[in-house]
Amino acid sequence: MKDDEAAAPTPPGRSSPRVDEARRRLLRSAAVGGVVVCASLLTLLDHRAVEAAPRLRPPGALDEEDFLAACIKCGQCVQVCPVDAIRLSDLDQGIGNGVPYIAARAQACDFSCDATQCVLACPTGALSHLIDAKEQSRMGVARLAAPDACLARKGEGFKGLARGEAFKGHLRYSDIDRWKPQPVASHPYDLGTCDLCVRHCPIKDAIELVPVSSDPQDRRRTPMVKDACVGCGVCEMMCPAEPAAIRVDVRVKGRDPGGPKT
Amino acid sequence: MSSRLIARKLRDLALMLGAAPQKPTPEDMTEEARELLAFKKSPEERKRRKAAIENERAEAVQSHKWRMIRWASIFAVNGLFVASYWIDLQLVEGALTASRVLGFHFADVNSSLQLMLAHKHVVINLVIGVTTVLLIYAVIGGRTFCSWVCPYHFLSELAEMVHLKLVGKKLVRDHELDRRLRIIMFFVFAVLAFVSGYPLFEAISPVGILSRALTYGTIIGLIWVGLLLLAEIVWSRRLWCRYVCPVGLGYGLAGIVAPVRVMYDATKCLHEGKCRQVCLVPHVLDITKLSFAREVETPIGVDCTRCAMCIDVCPTGALTFDIVGLARSGADDKSEEEGA
């Protein structure tokens, strides 16, 4: 009988095939479990690597660590954005896989929706429901990162398409259509002094052009970012210099509307 | 509820949590089941079954009816997600981790649990979403999510076909794992989420990765999904769904009370074992072995995904869909009092 075989004593130093298989099965299971857990931990390591270049998060995002914990990676914020500013990260972002971000140079959040639709869409509060106006968001702060490239600082004007014909980005041009964002590439400019960053800033008193010297003949101006700046990135998107002279420094801490401002 | 029913539910639960199926003693069986077994063990009946099996194998007609219906369901649900965004259909917005269906919050059990453990907040929208989803699966049948909705299940089925082909040519063989791994994974990832502060499982869950890839075009994650499928093809059949993925557990629990299930009728069964060969969770079908059935008619346990592969493959109609409370032909003598 089969059962007798299994019960028969096995030669010393050798276990029965059935015991062997059971042991191998356990080992395999432990190995697979280990690999899967390690894969998930790798995403944490990966995340450490991408921390050096943090991504701009949508308005209302909690501080980065909390945000990554609270986001359920569903993309509902992506779906409601009228200018498609929000995208989802991929697995190369490690633990940030599936988390929304904004690539401001390609398409900034210009608050075309008027009041943070993405926040309303977020089911988890990773985009904090504590904000209900664009001025309350603290995504980052704009900074004139390459002053020498800034046309206004050189005292130059700007004529033509801000970002060229191939640029896909959209912007709210309220005087054309308040509810339909227009392609930036459909909107040529002719400016005596380039003020694109100031002209299109959706936040009141966030940026202004100030004279470089007290000489009234000096046409040079420098964009000065003020406290009201929320870091939406419209200035970065609209800057005609290549690469952009003005860029947003991403806030990773102190942006939680419920937390302290740093 | 009768004590027999409660005992069966507990057994099904233990089975889902990794227990090995138990062969019943004659005392465990109902009077009818004992009589049926005695009849089935008679030499004439054995001979008849053997002939019937040979006959059936000669004909070898394979139905794919339920598989096609089920695949249509997977395509429809995931298609709704995609269309809601791309053609602005706005019916099912989000991903399989969380969504709004006609404006109502839906949320995945495991995703929500991971998130709340990592974030250490009770997110009320997710509680609402999870409750809604669990209520739905408590009605339409537990792990139905797995085989009727999950996009990974579909890919995994294709991988399984390739795997079985290769096994047939003796190029690869299946390496079985311990089913309890899934339970351990559930707890390990729950603890990891709490300790690390990140929903780690979500970053690598092929369910979310595929769901987002379809709607939002995030395709780098597909490399990971591809690796999993490759492992399933060359090394271990249905590796992820069978042994690793904890997503179905919550749905399985909700399915304890589900009125939609697969019913096994021992009187029609030839005990040929075709159903167990196609099943994702074959332990739930151990009752189809001769002398394993405690009752003449037994609903398949909570780990069942209602994929209906067994129904497609069963040559005698011993396995059928059943809904508690709806009369079936020949079910008048059914001695169950569920759904009360």
pLDDT for B37-79, tens place per residue? 999 999 999 999 999 999 988 887 789 999 999 999 999 999 9
How many CB pairs lie under 8 A apart between chains A and B? 152
Residue B24 CA: distances (Å) to CA of A2, B28, B147, B263: 20, 6, 30, 19
Strand ranges in chain A using DSSP code E only, listed in sequence order: 86-88, 100-102, 140-144, 158-161, 170-171, 182-183, 188-191, 207-211, 221-225, 246-250
Q: What is the mean pLDDT of residues B202-219?
A: 96
The reply to whether B185 falls in a domain is: yes
Q: What is the mean pLDDT of residues B291-309?
A: 94
User: Are A193 and A152 in contact, with CB atoms under 8 Å apart?
Assistant: yes
The reply to whether A162 falls in a domain is: yes
Q: Do B98 and A123 touch (CB under 8 A)?
A: yes
Please report residues of B whose CB lies closer than 8 A to that of A66: 119
User: Are A69 and B113 in contact, with CB atoms under 8 Å apart?
Assistant: no
B132 Cβ under 8 Å from any chain A Cβ: no
For residue B149 the two structure tokens come to: 């909705």
User: Are B286 and B303 in contact, with CB atoms under 8 Å apart?
Assistant: no
The whole-number pLDDT of residue A258 equals 76
Nearest Cα to Cα of residue A163 among A145, A191, A188: A188
The reply to whether A57 falls in a domain is: no
Please report residues of B whose CB lies closer than 8 A to that of A39: 204, 224
Q: For B244, which DSSP code?
A: I
Counted domains in chain B: 2
ipTM for the complex shown: 0.90
Q: What is the mean pLDDT of residues B153-178?
A: 97
B21 and B94 inside one domain: no
B14 and B101 inside one domain: no
User: Are B247 and B202 in contact, with CB atoms under 8 Å apart?
Assistant: no
B243 and B302 inside one domain: no
The whole-number pLDDT of residue A257 equals 79
Nearest Cα to Cα of residue A101 among A130, A129, A124, A81: A81
Q: What is the mean pLDDT of residues B211-234?
A: 97
**Residue B337 banded pLDDT, cuts 50, 70, 90:** very low
H/E stretch holding B93 reads: strand B92-95
The whole-number pLDDT of residue A51 equals 76
Q: Do A91 and B95 touch (CB under 8 A)?
A: no
Per-residue pLDDT of chain A (262 residues; tens, 9 = 90+): 344 444 455 556 666 788 888 999 999 999 999 999 999 999 988 777 777 789 999 999 999 999 999 999 999 999 999 999 999 999 999 999 999 999 999 999 999 998 789 999 999 999 999 998 999 999 999 999 999 999 999 999 999 999 999 999 999 998 899 889 999 999 999 999 999 999 999 999 999 999 999 999 999 999 999 999 999 999 999 999 999 999 999 999 988 877 765 5
Q: What is the mean pLDDT of residues B92-103?
A: 95
The residue of chain B nearest to residue A28, with distances taken between CA atoms, is B177
A25, A33, A98 member nearest B184 (Cβ): A33
Question: For all residues of chain B together, what is the average pLDDT?
Answer: 92
User: Are B126 and B98 in contact, with CB atoms under 8 Å apart?
Assistant: yes
Q: Do A37 and B192 touch (CB under 8 A)?
A: yes
The whole-number pLDDT of residue B145 equals 96
Judged against a pLDDT cut of 60, whether residue B339 lies above it is answered with no
Counted domains in chain A: 1
The reply to whether A26 falls in a domain is: no
Distance from CA of A184 to the nearest CA of B (A): 22
User: Measured in whole angstroms, how far is the alpha carbon of residue B268 from the centre of its chain?
Assistant: 23
A221: left (phi over 0), alpha (psi -120 to 50) or beta: beta
The reply to whether B331 falls in a domain is: no
The reply to whether B328 falls in a domain is: no
Nearest Cα to Cα of residue B174 among B57, B286, B277: B277
B47 and B138 inside one domain: no
The most distant pair of C-alpha atoms in chain A lies apart, rounded to whole Å, by 108
User: Are B291 and B23 in contact, with CB atoms under 8 Å apart?
Assistant: yes
The reply to whether A41 falls in a domain is: no
The reply to whether B338 falls in a domain is: no
The reply to whether B314 falls in a domain is: yes
The whole-number pLDDT of residue B1 equals 55
The residue of chain B nearest to residue A40, with distances taken between CA atoms, is B200
Strand ranges in B124-272 using DSSP code E only, listed in sequence order: 260-265
Final residue belonging to a domain, choices B253, B275, B297: B253
CA angle in degrees (0–180, nearest 5) for A159-A160-A165: 160
Nearest Cα to Cα of residue A42 among B192, B102, B257: B192
The residue of chain B nearest to residue A73, with distances taken between CA atoms, is B97
User: Are B115 and B121 in contact, with CB atoms under 8 Å apart?
Assistant: no
Domain with A162 in it: 64-250
User: Are A46 and A95 in contact, with CB atoms under 8 Å apart?
Assistant: yes
B204 Cβ under 8 Å from any chain A Cβ: yes
H/E stretch holding B11 reads: helix B3-16
The whole-number pLDDT of residue A135 equals 93
Better pLDDT: B268 or A261: B268
% of chain B exceeding 70 in pLDDT: 96
In a 10 Å sphere around its CB, with 0-12 CB exposed, 13-18 middle and 19+ buried, how is residue A178 labelled?
Answer: exposed
The reply to whether B317 falls in a domain is: yes
Nearest Cα to Cα of residue A92 among A43, A36, A40: A43
The reply to whether A19 falls in a domain is: no
The reply to whether A76 falls in a domain is: yes
Q: Do A76 and B94 touch (CB under 8 A)?
A: yes
Q: Do A124 and B126 touch (CB under 8 A)?
A: yes
B247 and B287 inside one domain: no
Please report residues of B whose CB lies closer than 8 A to that of A67: none
The whole-number pLDDT of residue A13 equals 60
Could you read off the pLDDT of B78-90 as tens digits, one per residue?
Answer: 999 999 999 988 8
For residue B156 the two structure tokens come to: 């995994």
Gap between the Cα atoms of B60 and B67, Å rounded? 17
Please report residues of B whose CB lies closer than 8 A to that of A69: 115, 118-120, 197-199
Nearest Cα to Cα of residue A152 among A69, A240, A250: A240
Domain with B79 in it: 66-253
The reply to whether A148 falls in a domain is: yes
Q: What is the mean pLDDT of residues B323-339?
A: 55
Q: Do B107 and A26 touch (CB under 8 A)?
A: no
The whole-number pLDDT of residue B336 equals 45
Q: For A195, which DSSP code?
A: -
The whole-number pLDDT of residue B333 equals 43
Could you read off the pLDDT of A108-141 as tens digits, one per residue?
Answer: 999 999 878 999 999 999 999 999 899 999 999 9
The residue of chain A nearest to residue B200, with distances taken between CA atoms, is A40
The reply to whether A97 falls in a domain is: yes
Judged against a pLDDT cut of 80, whether residue B155 lies above it is answered with yes
Final residue belonging to a domain, choices B253, B271, B288: B253
Q: For B24, which DSSP code?
A: P
The whole-number pLDDT of residue B50 equals 94
B7 and B153 inside one domain: no
Q: Do B200 and A91 touch (CB under 8 A)?
A: no
